[in-house]
């Protein structure tokens, strides 16, 4: 570790196991306190419906807490995140202690304390890592903000309001009604 405010995966692995931290470009983000009920309801609903859709297909859906290492070398890297809901189709990325590589689809359920990170830092991180589709779900309003990766860029942003249907770009036959 070259800077006292920047950390590596090796540092992160030495932290107390009862604490949850994300590490993005060497900067630590505390994952506590636990999410509120509306957050969990939206994440669970999306994960269940996406999981049902993916049944019998080669892709798998997961929910936090599960570590996702976005860099090729998880030992020397400085980034590990816990997306709320994500799906991947390359099962070679699945290892015992987490996912090693970018998921195809990521959804983060927005809370007041994570808005800046989800709309800025994580959006840029997921774009650089090659996440093909990124949803931000507002836990209070039910709005969904959809980013689709094309030619290495996210855009244009699609916004859906409560009650509207979001169609996935990665899974074209899958749609979800904004709760």
> What is the mean pLDDT of each successive set of 10 residues along the chain, which is 179 residues long?
76 90 92 85 97 96 95 78 97 93 96 86 95 95 95 92 96 94
In the prediction, which pLDDT does 1 show? Answer: 42
In the prediction, which pLDDT does 43 show? Answer: 96
In the prediction, which pLDDT does 18 show? Answer: 85
Would 17 be classed as within a structural domain?
no
Would 103 be classed as within a structural domain?
yes
Domain extent, residue 127, equals 34-177
**Rounded Cα–Cα distance for residues 84 and 156 (Å):** 23
> What residues have CB less than 8 Å from 37, skipping those under 6 apart?
none
Would 27 be classed as within a structural domain?
no
- Find the CATH number of the domain harbouring 147: 3.90.1570.10
**Rounded Cα–Cα distance for residues 104 and 70 (Å):** 12
């Amino acid at each position: 570790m070259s800077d006292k405010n920047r950390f590596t995966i090796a540092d992160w692995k030495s932290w107390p196991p009862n604490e949850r931290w994300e590490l993005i470009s060497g900067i630590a983000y505390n994952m506590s306190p636990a999410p509120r009920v509306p957050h969990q309801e939206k994440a669970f609903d999306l994960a269940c419906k996406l999981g049902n859709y993916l049944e019998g297909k080669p892709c798998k859906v997961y929910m936090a807490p599960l570590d996702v290492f976005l860099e090729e070398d998880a030992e020397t890297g400085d980034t590990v995140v816990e997306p709320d809901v994500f799906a991947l189709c390359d099962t070679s990325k699945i290892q015992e202690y987490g996912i090693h590589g970018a998921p195809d689809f990521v959804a983060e359920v927005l809370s007041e304390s994570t808005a800046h990170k989800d709309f800025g830092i994580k959006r840029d991180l997921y774009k650089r890592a090659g996440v093909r589709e990124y949803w931000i779900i507002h836990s209070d309003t039910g709005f969904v903000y959809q980013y689709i990766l094309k030619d290495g860029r996210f855009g244009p942003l699609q916004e859906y309001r409560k009650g509207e249907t979001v169609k996935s770009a990665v899974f074209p036959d899958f749609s979800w009604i904004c709760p």
